[in-house]
Amino acid sequence: METQIEMMDDKVKLTERAAPLIRRLVQEFGATWVTLDDVQTWTTQGGDRVLLLAGDAVRFPEGQDVAAVLPELMRAFPGRFQVGVVPREQEDAVAERYGSQRWPTLLFLRDGSYVTTIAGMQDWDVYLQRVAEALELPVSRAPTIGIPVVSSGATDSSCH
C-alpha cells in the first residue's frame, strides 16, 4: 500500500512540474504519466496507445502546440486510442527505446508493439490523415538508432 501511495505522489509531482499544456492533458483529458519503468506495462494493456514526447519547451516550443492539438485529435478519433505523456527527464530514454529521433513526437503503439511516429507539428488535415493511417497500420519493428554497420566483405564503393 505504501508503494502505491509513493507512486501516486510521484505522479502528482510530475503533474505539478509539467508545462501547463502537458499538465492539462493529464488533468483534463485523462492522459497517463508513462515512465521508462512502466512503459512496457502501459503499452501492453491493449489497444492503440499514443505517447507524447514533447521535448524541452524552450528548445522545441512546437511540443506545446502538439500538446494543445492532441485533445482535438482525441475528439476526432473518439475512443480509438489512449494517451500517455512521458516525463521530460525520461523522454530521451523512451525515444531511444522506440527509435525516435525528433521532438516533438507522437509515438503510436499497439498491444505493446511499435506502430509508427508522427514527428513535429503538422497542419490539421495532415494530422487527421496521418493518425487515421497510424490506427490502421500493422505493428512493426521500431527503428534502431545508431551508426549503420557495414560488413567487412562489402565491395560497394558508392558509400558517401
Count of C-beta atoms within a 10 Å radius of residue 2: 6
pTM of the model: 0.82
Mean pLDDT (whole number) for 142-158: 54
| Interatomic CA distance for residues 112 and 49, integer angstroms | 9
Judge whether 29 and 71 are in contact, CB under 8 Å.
yes
* Whole-number pLDDT of residue 10: 64
* Whole-number pLDDT of residue 101: 87
CATH superfamily of 2-136: Glutaredoxin (3.40.30.10)
Count of C-beta atoms within a 10 Å radius of residue 150: 9
| Interatomic CA distance for residues 106 and 100, integer angstroms | 10
Domain boundaries, the chain: 2-136
| Interatomic CA distance for residues 104 and 51, integer angstroms | 11
Judge whether 110 and 58 are in contact, CB under 8 Å.
no
Mean pLDDT (whole number) for 106-131: 96
